[in-house]
Amino acid sequence: MKKIIALIILLSVCTFAFATEGRINGMGVNPIFYNDDYLINIFPQYLTQYMNNAYIDAYFNSYYGNQYSGGLNFKLLGNDFGIYINKNFPIQFDYEYAKLEKAMNLYLAMGGLGLGFDIAMDNYTNDNYSPSGSLKENTLGVGGKIGLEVSGFDVGGQVHFATGKSTEEHVEEVKDNVFLVQGAARMKMFETDKSVVYPAVELDMVSAKATCTYLTKTDDRVEDTYNCFSIDPGIGYNHWLTEEVLVIAAVSCGFHTAKSKESYVYSDTTITYDGNYTKITLPKLELGLEAYLAKWLTLRAGINKEYYYYSSKGDECCKDDVKVSYYSSYFDYAFGVGLTFGKWTIDWEICDDLLWNAPYIVTGNESDFACSFTVKYAFGK
């Protein structure tokens, strides 16, 4: 079963590709704990704070490969609008060709209220896919966002739904449906000329179902269902050590639980396997640094360390109650550079490969230039 319910579910708002992708990734800290254009995706009302900007993003990940997208924030008829094209939809199916990676995002902000609408679709047909026949794939994703700011308190919510169908003639037919709900809230506290504190919380809920029908005489099928819930509270601290150096420190915890069911339906019987999964993060520590060395040059660096407990229980290979549990940790780091020339800004997340192997002109060996790269143009006054 090659396609069944292989989903990419973005359970952390931090992983969305949006706006100043280069700065976010180069800093290495969850952007809900500081201010950046990225916040438009979490809290649409922040569109009003980043008007008259145009963006071009380039980034790479293992699923999508190289991706390019662009956006524009502008005023029209007294209101603030934003339009972004070729963004990645927050839900993906593991289809061969029809991907939800060309989404369009529309935004409208009026005072402290922000609204957003996302849509993505794709289809693929190959009448000579294999000796058995054709391949037809169709995907559709839609979503809505709302954000509100009241007295320094930001709240945002979004709902996304995606459906897909992949049919290989005379072999199998896969149908997927996923419902994703996300929410976030943060408050500005203890603000001074040099410091500010951001308590915040993020919430995710996912419900997914996939059916794979084998196109044989008996029409055997596999049905998968998946439901999960996660909540991640935390607190971030922004402090200007000097007028040129910003330090961001954050600590958070998290609780993630999921249930899955896999049913093999035959003409005369049904076999079901259940699974339960839990991950508890306590704590996750993040530290980011942004240094303005000159009017045109900014250096960024970040590290984070996560400690977590994982446990699972389920049926496997006809054995009842297979249990797994362990404690572990995860460490990551990031580096970035910002360049400013007049109204142009370039944010570049430096790849590990370039740091450790040096550029081609030095070693003669190939090395990746950037994991993410953003060009921003401010066309307003």
Show pLDDT as tens, one digit a residue, over the chain (381 residues). 444 333 433 333 333 333 467 788 888 899 999 999 989 999 999 999 999 999 998 876 555 567 789 999 999 988 999 999 998 899 989 898 998 888 999 999 998 999 999 999 999 999 888 887 899 999 999 999 999 998 889 999 999 999 999 999 888 899 999 999 999 999 999 999 999 999 999 999 999 999 999 887 666 889 999 999 999 999 999 999 999 999 999 999 999 999 999 988 887 888 888 899 999 998 999 999 999 999 999 999 999 999 999 999 886 544 556 889 999 999 999 999 999 999 999 998 887 655 555 444 344 444 455 577 889 999 876
The answer to whether 48 touches 70, Cβ cutoff 8 Å, is: no
d(CA 89, CA 122): 12
Contacts by 258-261, CB closer than 8 A, 24 or more apart: 258/226, 258/227, 258/228, 258/229, 259/226, 259/227, 259/228, 260/224, 260/225, 260/226, 260/227, 260/314, 261/223, 261/224, 261/225
Q: Look at residue 253 in the predicted model and tell me its pLDDT.
A: 96
The answer to whether 328 touches 361, Cβ cutoff 8 Å, is: no
Q: Look at residue 267 in the predicted model and tell me its pLDDT.
A: 78
96: left (phi over 0), alpha (psi -120 to 50) or beta: alpha
Q: Look at residue 217 in the predicted model and tell me its pLDDT.
A: 65
What are the residues facing 255 on neighbouring strands?
Answer: 231, 280
d(CA 69, CA 201): 28
Other beta carbons less than 10 A from residue 309's beta carbon = 13
The answer to whether 275 touches 260, Cβ cutoff 8 Å, is: yes
Q: For the chain, which residues make up each domain, given as ranges?
A: 7-378
3-state SS string for 39-70:
HHHHCHHHHHHHCCEEEEEEEEECCCEEEEEE
Task: Rounding to the nearest 10 degrees, give the CA dihedral for residues 112, 340, 371, 5.
Answer: 20
Name the pTM for this structure: 0.86
Q: Look at residue 363 in the predicted model and tell me its pLDDT.
A: 42
Other beta carbons less than 10 A from residue 210's beta carbon = 24
Q: Look at residue 246 in the predicted model and tell me its pLDDT.
A: 96
